[in-house]
Amino acid sequence: MKTALITGFPGQDACYLASFLLDKGYEVHGIVKRYTAPNFSNIKYLNLQERGLKLMTADVTDIGSIFDVVETAKPDEFYNLAAQSFVGDSWRLSHSTSHVDAHGVLNCLEVLRRISPKTKFYQAGTSEMFGNSNINGLQTEDTPFMPVSPYGIAKLYGFHMTKNFRESFDMFACNGILFNHESPIRGLQFVTRKVTFGVANILSGNLKTITLGNLDAERDWGHASDYVEAQWLMMQQEVPEDFIIATGKKHSVRDLCKVAFEAGGIKDWESYVVTSDEFTRPNELHSLHASSDKASSVLNWKNKINFEDMIQDMVLEDIRRLNEGLYNGF
């Protein structure tokens, strides 16, 4: 039986990856940061602890705690999904974003180098590292990085440090450059879930409108359950490489609103959406979408759930939760 150690609980990706690995027969250890009032709703949604997930307390910014969990879990595979991942907050929280998304990666790599060099390491990169590079075309693994946010800059540090440890110390260390990926357990601060949860609340009479930022922003949106499979496939290769994971299709926030409101039976979505500069980023990133041809060729990976089905499912799940009286969607 293989053992995996995953940071970033109780986030969307960590939970879906744990679910996937448990189905594969892994022993899965999940790292959760100590909170005053931890929210384990995502873990409960996927019944992870009942299925065998073992939670451990640590923080990627505290290298001593990472030493402890690696010594305890003795992982074959280490997936670093911990991050301050809300791009909009990274200007206001630039220091903490850098501590987690940049220095936290170095801490994980350094621990493995010292006490567990045979452990395979996966670093969660992001499409935000590209910024506005090749804005009118598909981003590929060869597209230059030009991040425009503190989040993207910090993640780029983690990307290059992972590559450096791979080349300098002969470690199995790979980067997944994942474009936007969503699910019914996506955080409410992200625009997809803000919209789907908003639709459910409008239908229930709790809200009259949803306030958004740039409706013309375009993203390449896929489903988290598809993308964690790609993370696992990267770790099963003989030679570590870096891969883009994306659908190759882009949709605007307007498209998102149209699909979400129609899933709730509302045709005139414009009547329920208002815009505000409050939700516009200081340095706006207009369009991101990518080619995952390398992942398709090398990993034999392809996304299974399309954009429309994903958004419709998210709306219906939020409606169900509200109808059942579950707060915050759960």
| SS3 annotation, 109-131 | HHHHHHHCCCCEEEEECCHHHCC
Q: Which amino acid is at 87?
A: V
Annotated catalytic residue: which of 7, 119, 126, 192? 126
- 244 forms beta bridges with 177
Quote the tokens at residue 87.
Answer: 């791009």
State yes or no: is 151 an active-site residue. Answer: yes
| DSSP one-letter string for 25-82 | T-EEEEEE---SS---HHHHHTTTTTTT-EEEE--TT-HHHHHHHHHHH--SEEEE--
CB 307 within 8 A of CB 181: no
In Å, what is the CA distance from 320 to each residue of 139, 184, 193? 37, 11, 14
Catalytic site residue from 27, 77, 128, 229? 128
Among 227, 257, 6, CA closest to 126: 227
The pair of structure tokens assigned to 167 is 């080349």
Cβ atoms 186, 192 nearer than 8 A: yes
Alpha carbon distance 181, 48 (integer Å): 20
Q: Which residue has the tokens 């598909």?
A: 138
Known catalytic membership, residue 97: no
Tokens representing residue 269 in the block: 């979505």
The CA dihedral of 273, 45, 29, 124, to the nearest 10 degrees, is -20
Please, are residues 43 and 10 in contact by the beta-carbon 8 Å criterion?
Answer: yes
- Active-site choice (151, 162, 182, 192): 151
Q: Which candidate, 255, 136, 216, 233, places its Cα nearest to that of 178?
A: 233
Euclidean distance between CA atoms 300 and 293, whole angstroms: 9
Structure-token pair, residue 156: 């780029």
List, by residue number, the catalytic residues.
Answer: 126, 128, 151
